[in-house]
Chains A and B, each alone.
Chain A
Amino acid sequence: MANPPASSAETGAPLRLSGGVFTLSILHLESADPRQLAQRITEERQRHPAAADFHRHAPIVLDLSAIPEEAPLALAEILQVLRAADWFPVGLRNAAPRHQALAQEQHLPILRGQERGIAPHSQPEASPVLAPIAQGSLLIDHPIRGGQRSYARGGDLICLAAVNAGAEIMADGNIHVYGPLRGRALAGVNGQEEARIFCANLEAELVSVAGLYRTLETNHPLWGQAAQIYSRDEQLHIIPLNL
């Protein structure tokens, strides 16, 4: 039997082990230098605070395909940087054999993604199981209530009902809202500057595209009207949506 002899003396029940498939974010390590990593994280988070907020406390898989085998890897320090940034490193992938040994010391599992080939600098393809971006859009047909959040990872978010005050919707792509938009809407949260927000009735508390944001008051000229919001030249533009 494949079952380990794990039944507890008191309950007699076997230890429950079951399988599961999880979506994890992958961080592609650019260099082996922990200080450089810390600096890059700080920069990114300043640029895209909304996305940063969303990824806070996320489990992270470290992809080492860009790190050559002979490079000295201060893995313990790198893990420290990630944890200090409120991430939970849960594994490594595409690590060279020497780096795999380091992972074992840190009790980090090696996850099977794309295996490192002979050419160490070849661009890795995203593994289908661990892909950070689930393709496609998110369609919502019921009101999003205050306190609720919805995130279309890797696609557009389309809401056919109201987004109520205090609700927050985010998308890596565009946002379309056909009911009144009264909460917060953040498009392009991973930095896609060409993302836009389209809404049939603009009464939003806050709109944002690729990290640029602004709050709205009831005296806005397009308040209560169909509008689109986009970013150009580091500025957010709100214009009528002529349907």
Chain B
Amino acid sequence: MAKIVVVTSGKGGVGKTTTSAAFASGLALRGYRTVVIDFDVGLRNLDLIMGCERRVVYDLVNVIQGEAKLQQALIRDKRCESLYVLPTSQTRDKDALTTEGVTAIMDELRKEFDYIVCDSPAGIESGALMALYHADEAIVVTNPEVSSVRDSDRILGILAARSRRAEQGEEPVKEHLLLTRYSPKRVEGGEMLSLEDVKELLHTPLLGVIPESEVILQASNQGIPAVHMDHSDVAEAYKDMVARFLGEERPLRFVQPVKVGFFKRLFGG
């Protein structure tokens, strides 16, 4: 039976779609049959980050409204055999999703896949609620700043109250914290919250820390999920995070400022 994992945050622009793409790709690299679904109706970002935007014919909304079969809307990833993308519509609005429609899709996907990754829209309205409703586990993406931490706290509360598991009195959704866009140097300078600050404020088990890096921009411009950016910090950090999600132990990396060498300091780098 598949596990459903929602990638959510409350606040916008913190790295949910970047993470959904990298995480789903990372699971597929490990051999798991994985599908990643874009719940951000009207904004359609995931297919761009996954580099499959030119192959979108049918989308989530078409399937829900009975205009296409689920198989017609699923796009196989060009890098990983076992990874599929279910894109969303750019022309409809958030109300196009219905609870029954989403439930039917989840039930069908559960039979075929090991992991179903749901890329949530920002906010706490119906789109975000739809994305988190079926979740078994949640990755709460947070940036090291007060407003992002506040919104993550809020979404954690909503997960505990409004998910299917909460409504049916089952075991609660398993929560994971992912700190992204982390810049140890700016933390040291006091411009950003530290990892310890965020952990203390949220009390949620840490799945990983993804450093701030311009590699993310290159990756998204080329439509390559960040785990595939070989030899980069972000690829390594996302691989660590996938490993921890699968129950392996990995030491935290990329949380100390990079020491600038003596010569580099002397001559400017």
Partner-B contacts on A (CB < 8 A): 142-148, 161-162, 164-167
Please, which residue of chain A has its CB at the minimum distance from the CB of B151? A146
Please, which residue of chain B has its CB at the minimum distance from the CB of A143? B203
Cross-chain contact B203 with A162 (CB below 8 angstroms):
yes
What are 21 inter-chain pairs, A to B, with CB distance below 8 A?
A143-B203, A145-B153, A145-B156, A145-B157, A146-B150, A146-B154, A146-B157, A147-B153, A147-B158, A148-B157, A148-B160, A148-B161, A161-B203, A162-B203, A164-B153, A165-B150, A165-B153, A166-B150, A166-B153, A166-B154, A167-B157
Please, which residue of chain A has its CB at the minimum distance from the CB of B203? A143
Cross-chain contact B201 with A164 (CB below 8 angstroms):
yes
Interface of A: prevailing SS: loop
Contacts of B203 in A (CB 8 A): 143, 161-162
Which of B129-160 touch A at CB < 8 Å?
Answer: 150, 153-154, 156-158, 160
Contacts of A161 in B (CB 8 A): 203
Q: How far is the CA of A148 from the CA of B159 in the complex (A)?
A: 11
Please, which residue of chain A has its CB at the minimum distance from the CB of B158? A147
Contacts of A164 in B (CB 8 A): 153, 201
Please, which residue of chain A has its CB at the minimum distance from the CB of B161? A148
Q: How far is the CA of A148 from the CA of B150 in the complex (A)?
A: 12
Q: How far is the CA of A161 from the CA of B202 in the complex (A)?
A: 11
Q: What are the 7 A-B residue pairs with the smallest beta carbon separation, nearest first?
A: A145-B157, A146-B153, A148-B157, A146-B154, A147-B154, A145-B153, A143-B203
Cross-chain contact A145 with B201 (CB below 8 angstroms):
no
Contacts of A166 in B (CB 8 A): 150, 153-154
Contacts of B161 in A (CB 8 A): 148
A122 to B: closest C-beta gap in Å: 43
B146 to A: closest C-beta gap in Å: 9
Q: How far is the CA of A107 from the CA of B61 in the complex (A)?
A: 46
Contacts of A165 in B (CB 8 A): 150, 153
Please, which residue of chain B has its CB at the minimum distance from the CB of A162? B203
A235 to B: closest C-beta gap in Å: 32
Q: How far is the CA of A165 from the CA of B201 in the complex (A)?
A: 9
Q: How far is the CA of A167 from the CA of B203 in the complex (A)?
A: 15
Please, which residue of chain A has its CB at the minimum distance from the CB of B155? A145
Contacts of B158 in A (CB 8 A): 147
B9 to A: closest C-beta gap in Å: 13
Q: How far is the CA of A165 from the CA of B151 in the complex (A)?
A: 10
Contacts of B201 in A (CB 8 A): 164
Contacts of B150 in A (CB 8 A): 146, 165-166
Known pairs A164-B153, A167-B157. 4 more at Cβ < 8 A?
A142-B160, A145-B153, A148-B157, A166-B154
Q: Which of A142, A144, A145 has the most CB of B within 10 A?
A: A145
